[in-house]
Amino acid sequence: MASYMSAGEAFAREQLTSNSDTSASSTTWANKFRGATIEDLDPPPALSVSSNDSIGSAMLAAYERDFTHLTVVSSTKRSLLGYLSIPRLKELLKEGAVKESDSVSVAMQRFNRKRGTYEVITMETPLEDLQKFFDSETSPTGEKRQKQDFAVVTDASRKFVLGVATRADLEEFVKRRP
């Protein structure tokens, strides 16, 4: 004998299934990170370059500190303008799209301030939230976005850039944690 559900029962069952999937992945992350925060990653202090600095000097600074991402700040206001991805910069140099003598502003990725959404990530942010930030393909407002490879770590009021946390930092933390 066949059994049928009402639309309401089917919806409730679907919601229960999707909620259990979400809670299962959250539980897995919680077990993996065990309450650790970004501070436990011990990120090195951020290295910021001015938008007027040369690409060559920015590359040298990144190599000296073994950084893959540099934050870019305004030379006058010291406000955060964007970032410089060293792997992307290498590609641009190889293609001839930029030269080492060009200013950083030519090659940097600018933050889109018009969207008005900014996910604040501080030293107290749990690593589970950082993992969700890296893996999510939607912004806090629900807009579609690319997966993120790094996060700018600031103070709670977003006045100071304290560091940069990358997906590789998170993976390394999990490997070295017993």
Q: What is the number of other CB atoms lying within 10 angstroms of the CB of residue 38? A: 24
131 lies in a domain?
A: yes
11 lies in a domain?
A: no
In this predicted structure, what is the pLDDT of residue 150?
85
Strands 80-85 and 150-154: unpaired
Q: Phi and psi at residue 143, in whole multiples of 5°? A: -75, 145
- What's 85's domain CATH number? 3.10.580.10
In this predicted structure, what is the pLDDT of residue 95?
95
In this predicted structure, what is the pLDDT of residue 145?
74
48 lies in a domain?
A: yes
148 lies in a domain?
A: yes
17 lies in a domain?
A: no
160 lies in a domain?
A: yes
In this predicted structure, what is the pLDDT of residue 158?
78
Q: What is the number of other CB atoms lying within 10 angstroms of the CB of residue 80? A: 21
In this predicted structure, what is the pLDDT of residue 130?
92
| Domains: count for the chain | 1
Whole-angstrom Cα distance, residue 133 to residue 127?
10
2 lies in a domain?
A: no
- Asked whether 55 and 102 are in contact (CB, 8 A), the reply is yes
pLDDT in tens, the chain (178 residues): 444 444 445 444 454 444 444 444 445 545 678 889 999 998 888 889 999 999 999 999 999 998 888 999 888 887 788 899 999 999 999 999 999 999 999 999 888 766 556 788 999 999 999 999 888 877 666 777 777 888 889 888 877 888 889 888 888 888 887 6
In this predicted structure, what is the pLDDT of residue 28?
56
Which domain, by its residues, includes 82?
Answer: 38-176
In this predicted structure, what is the pLDDT of residue 178?
64
Whole-angstrom Cα distance, residue 164 to residue 149?
10
In this predicted structure, what is the pLDDT of residue 114?
65
In this predicted structure, what is the pLDDT of residue 80?
84
Place of tokens 């309401």: 8
3 lies in a domain?
A: no
